[in-house]
Amino acid sequence: MLEKVEEFNMDKVIDEFEEITKDAERVQKETLRKILEDNASAEYLQNLGLNGRTDPESFKACVPLVTHTDLEPCIHRIVEGEGSSILTGKPITTMSLSSGTTQGKPKFVPWNDELFETTMQIYKTSFVFRNREFPIKNGKALNFIYSSKQFKTKGGLFAGTATTNVFRNSRYRCTMKALQSQCCSPDEVIFATDFHQSLYCHLLCGLIFREEVQLVSSTFAHSIIHAFRTFEQVWEELVADIREGVLTSRITDPSVRNAMSKLLKPNPELANLIYKKCMGLSNWYGLIPELFPNAKYIYGIMTGSMEPYLKKLRHYARELPLLTADYGSSEGWIAANVNPKLPPEYATYAVLPQIGYFEFIPLTDNNQEQKQTNKFLIMDPKPVGLTEVKVGEEYEIVITNPAGLYRYRLGDVVKVVGFHNSTPELKFVRRSSLLLTINIDKNTEKDLQLSVEAAGKLLSEDKLEVVDFSSHVDLSRDPGHYVIFWEISGEASEDLLRECCNCLDRSFVDAGYISSRKVNCIGPLELRVVRRGTFQEILDHYLGLGAAVSQYKTPRCVGPTNSKVLQILSENVVKNYFSTAFN
Ligand code: AMP
């Protein structure tokens, strides 16, 4: 294993990436051939009559596009322990639990060693590009990672979130060492069963190793924000632990206590320093560089549904660069950030043609006089290949991976913004499903995000911010109307909140929404302000369902499949306002 660490050669990884991306079309064909050959004996492929053919044309002709729902019967059999070759040649022995925050419940996705390999390939690729611009050496990472429990399904398969499956692989550590991303927390902290205890100890380890910490990271930006918001609340306790060298009694997990006792020694000097730093900060501005003076950057997925957290992240980060991590899912990785200098708002992801076979369903309707992007799921999709996509166009992604997913509609919309050699560079746009629709209106996650951003600007004039938000379509009265839930960082005046409510309503610029609002086919938008801590309660609810904080994404719209979350939100409403924007 150690040999692997030493063998890691940055120039070689860059050269290989350049070679592969220059020949993306051939590499795609080769990748498809290998996937189909390795899995030729799978019942799923056998039934589709490929008869050993591995070329893209036969593949597209025989294999249908599918969604997770289509595959559920097969996945169910695997989960139940039917050990035969159902989706893959070699039977699946482990399942990933995707975050499932959009649907309201986690869903099972097959996992295997090949997916682990692709994960390491993407980590290495983005690392070498990142390290070229922002070199780190012999550093430690304050990495807010949480390995949720791996459990056994009824049929005896291991199941855990994809991140858990990665962290639990013994080769993960080796690779991370080579990537200068050794976590400063011991394994017991990462694998602790209680997330709150784990987070507290991650913070404590970060402070103990503060001089050595060269990067602060997590899978998604949300966890980084969450960690430092928690720091604001527990910092005095952390300082006391460091001063006395004794871990707070709130940490009850014996293995965590034991591991932490090896690191924690009385250090009044460090305690005084951190105390002084915290007292000297104004509203926690610049907290991260103050605590970790040698940190070079902050790293985690910051695009898509993470964009609303950028403002707060910049507040904590001051001048430290924010680098978005790669683009992927429990179903497999897709693309790496090879332009790390771009701020997250402009970030692009270059597809790795060797880690899966990718197709793209065009969402732009070229037949219409005026080009129009179709916000609905296309009914008769005609996907194009990786190297056939066009710059400026939006597509829904279709994945074929080495773990039994063939032509699988991931449900993400991306925009092609350029090419790296012959592989496309993508900008993440949104999840493909519509969030808010009542009548002829079509509003996506992105539309909601923009509306909240516009209204949130009004709050910032009073030094307040939207901590988190969600939405709901209320059809209990006629006409139906949009409900936006806001958790706010402090007390806002009635007038200001009324203004925000009107701004939210006006900021949905979808023509169908505006026209429906004007004739009252959609009722006035309602802003419901919820108590502080409501979104923490929602997070805790998901953790209870087996989700991992590392992969958590706040549900941006709650509907009937998500009744528990709707209940939490509704029970915490403290004020509500109806828009008068269209009166
Ligand atoms: P999960 O379902 O937990 O596996 O999460 C995967 C989903 O997270 C993807 O399908 C995307 O919607 C989102 N995601 C992953 N990486 C990124 C990224 N770099 N930018 C934006 N969204 C992302």
Q: What is the DSSP code string of 31-80? A: HHHHHHHHTTT-HHHHHTT-TT--SHHHHHHHSPPB-HHHHHHHHHHHHT
Q: Please check whether residue 472 is in contact with residue 485, taking contact to mean a CB–CB distance below 8 angstroms.
A: yes
* Closest residue by CA, ligand 1 atom 10: 329
Identify the three-state secondary structure at position 332. strand
Give the pocket of ligand 1 (CB within 6 Å): 98-99, 162, 301, 303-304, 327-330, 410, 412, 428, 431, 551
Mutate to test the pocket of ligand 1, among 165, 329, 405 (most ligand atoms within 8 A of CB): 329
pLDDT at 371: 44
pLDDT at 105: 67
Nearest to 107 by CA among 551, 564, 534: 551
Residues 6 or more apart whose CB falls under 8 angstroms from that of 519 comprise none
Q: What is the pTM of this model?
A: 0.93
Structure tokens at 100: 């499932």
pLDDT at 182: 82
Q: How big is the CA angle at 146 (ends 142 and 148), to the nearest 5 degrees?
A: 170
pLDDT at 370: 40
Q: Which atom belonging to ligand 1 lies closest to the Cα atom of 334?
A: 16
* DSSP codes joined into one string, 391-446: TT-EEEEEEE-TTS--SEEEEEEEEEEEEETTEEEEEEEEESS-SB-SSS--B-HH
Mutate to test the pocket of ligand 1, among 302, 306, 412, 430 (most ligand atoms within 8 A of CB): 412
Q: Which atom belonging to ligand 1 lies closest to the Cα atom of 102?
A: 2
Check residue 533 and give left, alpha or beta (phi > 0: left; psi -120 to 50: alpha): left
Centre a 10 Å sphere on the Cβ of residue 153 and count the other Cβ atoms it contains.
Answer: 15
Q: Please check whether residue 534 is in contact with residue 544, taking contact to mean a CB–CB distance below 8 angstroms.
A: no
Mutate to test the pocket of ligand 1, among 428, 430, 433, 444 (most ligand atoms within 8 A of CB): 428
The C-alpha R_g of the chain, in whole angstroms, comes to 24
Q: Please check whether residue 296 is in contact with residue 215, taking contact to mean a CB–CB distance below 8 angstroms.
A: yes
Nearest to 510 by CA among 446, 414, 417: 446
Positions in the chain short of pLDDT 50? 1-6, 367-371
* Closest residue by CA, ligand 1 atom 22: 304
* Closest residue by CA, ligand 1 atom 16: 327
How far is the centre of ligand 1, averaged over its atoms, from the C-alpha of 216 (Å)?
20
